[in-house]
Amino acid sequence: MSQGFGGQVPAPHVQAKHREVTTYLVVIAAPEGPIAKLLLPDREQVAELDANTEEVTAMIMDRVPTVGAAGAEWDRLFAAYSVEERATAKIYTLEA
């Protein structure tokens, strides 16, 4: 008698390709409060969260930000933000 008890055994797990490591964390002002955006090296956004969380605090601990996201490389991501908001954005590089 089979030990499967009538149930089909699941197929072996196939691991999909992992996404790249998050490189940037940008904290920018928003009407609801500051938000943090996690970005890939090509500046594609992969997550957005409240910048006042413990997770964000832990990620930026002992890191010095670059202030201002006014360059052309940030245009696609921050097109909806004002010049003032972009000028005060804090950009943290998360590479080890």
Please answer whether residues 31 and 20 qualify as being in contact, where contact means their C-beta atoms are separated by less than 8 angstroms. no
Structure tokens at 53: 């969380």
pTM exceeds 0.85, yes or no = no
Whether residue 9 lies inside any domain: the answer is no
Smallest CA-to-CA distance from 29 within 65, 68, 59 is with 68
Whether residue 19 lies inside any domain: the answer is no
- Total of domains in the chain: 1
Q: Is 90 exposed, middle or buried (0-12, 13-18, 19+ CB in 10 A)?
A: buried
Q: Is 54 exposed, middle or buried (0-12, 13-18, 19+ CB in 10 A)?
A: exposed
Whether residue 5 lies inside any domain: the answer is no
Whether residue 69 lies inside any domain: the answer is yes
pLDDT in tens, 29-69: 988 899 999 999 999 999 999 999 999 999 999 999 999 99
Whether residue 42 lies inside any domain: the answer is yes
Whether residue 80 lies inside any domain: the answer is yes
- Domain span at residue 69 reads 24-93
